[in-house]
Structures are given as C-alpha cells and as structure tokens.
Structure 1
C-alpha cells in the first residue's frame, strides 16, 4: 500500500519529468555517446600508425574551441543562468555554437542543468555521483552515472517547469529542432575543410576523424568530467550546499568550468575562476563581448560578495 510520503515523492518526481524519450531519439543518444567514444579510443593506435597532420590539429583545435565555448558561454552561463544579457543575433549564434558540441538539443540541455542546480547532489539531480551511497562500489557506480550513464536514461526533464523562457522563444525552439542538421554540420564541415586544405579525399577522411568525431568525443568527456569528477574530488574554498569542487587539471580544457565550487556557490556569476591563478577562458570571452558592446548587464562577482561566500 502506498504511503502518504511515497505519494508525495511520486507527485514531485512527476513534475520533474515530461515523459520518455522516443525510441529513435534514444537510439541516436546511444550512437552519439558511444561511437565518438570508440573513435577516441581508436585515436591512440591511429596516431601511432598513421599520425595526425597539422591541418587536422588546427582544425580540431578550432572546432573544439568554438563548440566548447558555445556550451560554456552559451548553453551554460547565458541560457541556463542568465549571467549576462544580449540581443537576438548573439543569442542565436550562441545556441548554434553550443549545438555543435553534440551534447543534446538546447532546450533539453538547459532544462537538465537547471534541474541539476535545483536538486544538486540530492534526489532529483539527474547526474549526481552520490545517488547510490558512499561505499566504494556505490561511488564507482555513482561516477559512471554522473559521467555518462545518466544520458542513457529515457526520462526527459520537464521543460515547462525548468525552461519556460526557452520554450517561449521561437528562435530557441527552431535551433532545438535543428539539432540533427547541426550535428551533421559539426561532423562534415571539418571533413570539407580537411579535403580543401589538402586537396585530397584522405584529408577529408582525417579531418572528419580528428576534427569531427574525436573532437566531439574529447569534448564530451571533458564536459562530463565536470559532472562527475568536480562533484567528487577537489578544493572547496566557497560555501555551497552540495559537493561541488574545483579540479584544476580540467580548468583550461573546460574553458573555466572546472572552477565548479564557486559556480555552485554563486550560479549566476559570469566568472567561475575568481581566485589568483584560476584561468577562466569563458569569462574572458564574455569580457571581450562586453567591451565590444555585444553583451551587457554582465553579472561579475564583487569582492564583497566573494568574501561572504568563502567557506
């Protein structure tokens, strides 16, 4: 017999979710989570056997930077947390750039991340590593779940509850629907660049492999490491209500997202790396955009506020 507490929990979880991911979309999730990962593993023997050219490295670095900053500055700091304001053109550009990371359509990404902050490291958090307990076996299971296991869950976060502003924006709904074509662009454009630079089919193949598939996989695991590693180990100089932590080895690759403790202590802050030596590439880009007049009302952290947040 269902207890009153269980009934309340059921109703609460019902409001968190909006249904199940359809099977074709679920198959696509498996493909785009596993195939790039396999390519990342295959990159080691490929690099050893055939190497990688300068054109591939430069192209991979360019597409990595654009797609990573699209996620960190666009999907995360702007759309999810409103760390600054901007106009329609920049808004669309950030949504498109973030979609090139192949981390899911923009409306799903924002709803999932807002839900993560609402229930961080508690029941309802879609990707907490602490969902299964604190024993060694539970932490291994939790790490897998937080890192990439959670994306295979067919439950969809309720967008009307967590992202009604995004749902109401026709531009964002359009970019959301164009996730499939944008995925094709982010994989095939590097192949086109590689082919044109080297004027060969082999250049197109290596461009697709290194700057397309391997780059997407590498960015996936950098982003997922913020969900997993940065909620398990690291320094916690600021007072947050969860287990978010700073993990400096990820700082550059994540464009500043690995300064995760301050972010959870002050989610709307446009800058995450606020202490001496904490490089935050995403914050610097926002600063440049502000100087150019492309963004405004940026929520920069004040020294007074940071003092209040110190653990």
Structure 2
C-alpha cells in the first residue's frame, strides 16, 4: 500500500506548494478496511477456533513450540525491528539483520514496515493531541469516554484512518534498498508466517489435523497474541499506569506487561527518551527487546546502541510529589 500512497501524495502535492503530512483518501480507506478484516478480525476468529479445536483435540508440545517460536520471532520483529531500529534508529544493524527483522515484523500482520514507521513517528509528533491516529484520550470525559477511547485505540482506529505521508515521515526508509525490498513483499511474509507452522505441523505429525493445529497455534493464535500486546501500547499504556517524566503526551509505564511484550510496556520511559534502545532504562527492569539488541551487539550484528546517561534521565524526572499513577 505504500507505493499507492506515495502516488496519491504526489498527485495531491503540487511542486510549488507545501507537502501534506497526511492524506484522507477513500481509495486508501478501502485497502485499510480489507487489511483490518484479514489481519485484525480474522486472527481473533482464528484464536477462538484454536480454543474450540483444543477442547476436542489434545494440544501437543509441537503446537506450543510452534506458537512460542513464531510469537518470539514476529514479536521481536515488531519490537526490535519495526519500533526500535526502523522507527527510532536507536541502534545500527547489518543489512542481513535489518532484512530479517523487517521480514519477521511483517509476519505480525500489522502493516508494512514503511507504513508502520510513518504512523508511529506521527504518533510521537502528535502524542494524545489532534492528529494522533490512535490516542485513547480524545473521546470525551468520564468512563464513557474512557471505554470509547480504549476501543478506538486498541482496535477500531485501524478500520479507516488518515494515512501519514511516508515521504515526509519515513524518507530514510524510502532510500534504504533492503527495507524497500522487504516492504514490497509484505503480504508474502505474512503468508510465509502462516505457512511455515502449517507445513511443519503437517510433516511432523503426518496428518492433516497436525497441519491445522500448526496453522492455528503458530499462525492465527500467535498473530492474535502479538497484536493484543502491541495494541495495548496504544490503549492501556496511555490510560493506566505510572508516569515519572514530563512529556507532552499521557503515556504510562505498566511493569507487569513487560515480560509479555518484549519490554514495550515501559512506554512512558520510551516517550520520554524515544531515541533510547533501552525502554526499561535500568538493568533490573525486564526489557527482552533491549536484551536481544545486546545479544546482536555481542555477535557483531548491532552497534551504535543509544542509551541516555544517568544525568540525562535525572534531568527529565519529575519530583516525586509530581509523579503520578493513572487513572
């Protein structure tokens, strides 16, 4: 969809006029609705089907291994690749690692890497203000507004939304041959991510049921679980949790979520220091995404890892009396 969007931007931006940051296009909205049904609604239906099948057929150790491995790969692809590397450039990596992280992130079904980057950079620019595509804090006061905002931020915003100009928000990725190559094959990587566990399950068990449960656990359920974790950053991590820094948005930290979403739920820390590869900002905070970057560094596949100094962190901290917990 990035190629289509770039064409629309060029058609709507005369060379002598200002560049648009976003475009509202019924044509793009059609693609967004299709994507929403295929890769947001369908995985939820698949997760329900997985539970139903599991009540009839025994869940095997292979099913769980396929789920865990595919969850790990696609989750790290989003957290380390899409988010920390491509969007915020918090470290540098070899072309091979960049390609693999882009491919694994694509398998999560959350959009092509260039689109995802553009949308997330706009989220940081607008942070809980008009123009933030998935803020939960723009739906009115009280519990009614809270619930409406949660549903919007966690799920329904993806149905149709303004499309950020990728040439404005992600010009660096448009110049990266590796990422452009990965991005153009986005749907191929999604299909591959569903096909791999299906084939492994079928070959290992030598049954069609093994192929089905491999697809359900390693494909549908895995995609659903990864999505709920990342979507919680848009919803929960802007509604409940703790704040320790002064930021222009309403982001929060939710410590207990961090083991399940690769350290991403140190979301307020991240908004305070978006250029930091470490979201936990301390060795004792669980941040698997950062640990993986450190492993890549040991293997010589990552370098120039950016982390704020203790003094920089202390300068941004609110006085204890002003630190808060939401709601």
Q: Distance in 2 between matches of 1:83 and 1:275?
A: 16
Closer/same/farther in 2, CA of residues 27 and 250 from structure 1, 3 Å limit: same
Structure 1 position 149 matched with structure 2 position 163:
no
1:35 matched residue in structure 2: 42
For residue 256 of structure 1, what is the aligned residue in structure 2?
263
Matched, 1:208 2:183: no
Alignment of 1:47-58 (within 5 A): 47-58=54-65
Cα distance change of structure 1 residues 301 and 176 upon mapping to structure 2, 3 Å threshold: same
**1:1-311 alignment, distance < 5 Å:** 14-17=20-23, 19=25, 20-21=27-28, 23-24=30-31, 26-275=33-282, 277-311=284-318
Normalised by the length of structure 2, the TM-score is: 0.87
* Secondary structure in 2 matching 1:235: strand
Rounded to whole Å, the distance in 1 between the matches of 2:85 and 2:145 is 34
Name the structure 1 match of 2:3. none
- The count of aligned residue pairs is 301
Aligned partners of 1:238 and 1:262 also within 8 Å: yes
CA displacement at 1:241 relative to structure 2: 1.8
The CA RMSD measured in Å over matched residues stands at: 1.9
State how far apart, in whole Å, the 1-side matches of 2:308 and 2:65 are.
Answer: 34
Determine if contact 1:111/1:163 at 8 Å carries over to the other structure. yes
Shift of 1:212: 0.6
2:242 is paired with a residue whose SS is coil
Extract unaligned runs of 5+ from structure 1: 1-10
Q: Is the 8 A contact 1:241 1:265 kept in 2?
A: no
Distance 1:244 1:13, change over 3 A: farther
User: How far is the alpha carbon of 1:14 from its aligned partner?
Assistant: 4.6
Alpha-carbon shift at residue 276 of structure 1 (Å): 6.4
Q: Deviations over 1:232-260 (max 9, x none)?
A: 00011222221111112311111000011
Q: Name whichever of 214-223 and 238-247 sits farther off.
A: 238-247
Q: How far, CA to CA, are the matches of 2:68 and 2:203 in structure 1?
A: 17
Measure how far apart 1:21 and its partner are.
Answer: 1.3
Contact 1:13 1:124 survives alignment (8 Å): no
Worse-superposed segment, 99-108 or 40-49 = 40-49
Distance (Å, rounded) in 2 between the aligned partners of 1:50 and 1:239? 52
3-state SS of paired residue (1:194) = helix
Contact 2:293 2:302 survives alignment (8 Å):
yes
Conservation of the 8 A alpha-carbon contact between 1:18 and 1:159: no
